[in-house]
Homo-oligomer: A and B are copies of this chain.
């Protein structure tokens, strides 16, 4: 039997790095805010996914304005975020009361294909966790005090989202509390003693952090 599917879309960035007053999740690509492209991608994959959008408190008014302006009518649940990504995801998880699978996805990764979403839920259904990862295309070096040294790039993977998990086990992991080194959900999951299963991510699935990324993402949207 199919498990209930949830998606928590985290959009907590302040836009500072972008040199823009508008937080990057609200910048427009093809006449529509980045975050709406992201939510639509999950909706197109399956309208049955229960989507939770986590936004910082101070952006909620803006969100409500733009949903009217763009006549955005995909059903989502809005949740105000916390001070960190950990806290934002934690608040999103707090809204989920039934078992299932939850995909955590960066709001600023709008170039997400059906295939990637499918791979994420299917891998998590089978293994309990599913973390998108891609091989390195460049050489990599390890920084040391005043120096650096070459490392073997085949031993590394770059991590993306969606990161998808069994809801109840992820909630348990979040209950153990925040640690400084948590940069994603895989690290929270792992700190609770769970095995992280990787699946093949997608080079196109870029995170928009600069103006160039926005331009690139707009081009990449044609290919998904």
**Smallest CB–CB gap between A106 and chain B, Å?**
10
Name, among A133, A138, A160, A220, the residue most crowded by chain B CB atoms within 10 Å (CB to CB): A138
Interface: A70 (CB within 8 A): no
Residue-by-residue, is A188-224 near B (CB-CB < 8 Å gives 1, otherwise 0)?
A: 0010000110100001100101101001100110010
Report B-chain residues with C-beta under 8 Å of the C-beta of A204.
Answer: 212
CB contact list, A127-177 vs B, under 8 A = 131, 133, 136-143, 147-160
List the number of copies, as a whole number: 2
Given contacts A204-B212, A219-B219, contact A155 B143 (CB under 8 A): yes
Interface size grouping (class) on chain A: 35 or more
Find out whether the CB atom of A138 lies under 8 angstroms from the CB atom of B207.
yes
Knowing A204-B212, A215-B219, A219-B219, the reply to whether A141 touches B151 (Cβ < 8 A) is no
Are A157 and B137 also in contact (CB < 8 A) when A147-B195, A150-B190, A219-B215 are?
no
**A-side interface mostly:** mixed
Instruction: Tell whether A150 pairs with B212 under 8 Å between CB atoms, given A143-B157, A158-B138.
Output: no
Nearest chain-B residue to A135 (Cβ)?
Answer: B143
Of A2-10, A87-95, A179-187, the one contacting chain B is A179-187
| A interface residue numbers (CB < 8 A to B) | 131, 133, 136-143, 147-160, 181, 183-184, 186-187, 190, 195-196, 198, 203-204, 207, 209-210, 212, 215-216, 219-220, 223
